[in-house]
Amino acid sequence: MARVVPFIPERPSMIIQPEDQLIFDHEPDPVEEVKKIGGKVRHRFDETEGKFRGFLDGTFRIARVGFAQKTGTPVFVASISAGMLERDEYGYLRDVGISKDVKAIIFPFETYKNWLKNSGYQDDAYGVEEFKQRLIWEKNAITEADLSRKRWGGFEIEKKADLWMICDLSYWGLYKPEGPPKMPNFTRSTDLFSGGIIRRRARARARVLMSMLEVSYLAFVRLKLRRDYKILIDGVIPKKFRWFLAPTETEKSYQDIFANTAGFIKNMRRRPRDELVYREMLKMQPREFILTLSDRHEEEKEFIDQAFGGDDLDDARMGFIYLRLRDPRLIYGKDVETIAGIVKVQYDPSLWGGDFDKAAEIAAMIHKETWPIPKDRKRAWNEIAPIEEAEKVAKSRLLTEEHLSGIVSYLFE
């Protein structure tokens, strides 16, 4: 027993620590409608022969590498990577061999340049453009506008592994730095003096780029390597759909890439807004699940309308499956009430071919991942080993903060 105790995770708590990187949406979350059958909220699922064959996770590391003159606005560099593993017929996990590392210089270039011009620092304003041109010449960097003209999330996987990017926080999303933005500036001149605001927005932009890189990995695997794999992505699916650039895509490619794909959400940011449903969730036993359906974000509806030529969106709903991956009550007693061990899985019913039956199949495939337990004790209740291993692969490709600081330090001399 002495050898077993160290692998028992910590006692679950009602207080769940939130994720460090928060995702900020511009609209309220859609309400999830609970799918009841025979008046029951909780449903049983049976064993299935199906299983997930691919596991995808992205990660990033961000470092402050300097401060802008006159305003003290921090300049950030992010190292962004992803890992894609496949499970062979013997159950072993193997890297599919994709390696694409993105390094992004993140700063409100346009807002800062305009502030310098308005404040009478014309030479310094010219220096901003000179700095960007130096990145393009010496690092062969691209801008976010270059990404918006490419397919599959913008990153060409077949090209060289290293890619440098210039990210302008002055604008919302991927707008041309040289053209007028479609929305008011994301970063105002007064924000230049708030390092906290710039840091949060830099992390959010790095997370968006990470999602785009994950889409690029998924597209490459689907279209070049394994078309029929059932693939599990760490995190939510809508972000991947949102940054799957609609102007260059067709319905067929959309379906080819995202079919048989599910999102594994180990830390729930949102759950059904019903106390009775929440109580049922706490009572869930192994091999039980709760199914909910929700409307898509308006951005996603607009994307589907553009990509599919105005097809009926009545069925364009997202499915969410709640199930107990591991049960703390087996160790700490049946009286423990906690959401520890409950995970959330997101899928697109229109691409999986059904609601309840496919949800039960997905729940059964997730249940197969209960063992082995991840090595990280803090994640033992809600993590699965293949996702943990994919994250390790992705993290192994990240640059250290010291390397990020040093690799561009000469540009600030």
| Interatomic CA distance for residues 237 and 304, integer angstroms | 14
CB neighbourhood size of 85 (10 A) = 21
Angle 383-204-71 from CA coordinates, rounded to 5°: 145
Q: What is the pTM of this model?
A: 0.85
Low-confidence ranges of the chain (pLDDT < 70): 1-30, 147-161, 173-185, 238-254, 296-316, 408-413
Task: Give CA–CA dist 172/187, Å, rounded.
Answer: 9
pLDDT tens digits, one per residue of 80-123: 999 999 999 899 999 998 888 899 999 999 999 999 999 999 99
| Residue that is written with structure tokens 């460090």 in the block | 20
Contact 394, 58 (CB under 8 A): yes
Neighbours of 265 (CB within 10 A): 21
What is the domain range of residue 22? 5-412
Work out how many domains the chain is built from and give that number.
Answer: 1
Q: Strand locations in 251-300, DSSP E?
A: 261-265, 288-295
Among 384, 233, 392, which residue's Cα sits nearest to residue 323? 384
Nearest-10 Cα torsion for 280, 282, 286, 287 = 30
| Residues 86, 94: Cα–Cα separation, whole Å | 5
Closest CA to 337 of 348, 329, 326: 329
CA gap 209, 200 in Å, rounded: 14
Strands 261-265 and 231-234: parallel
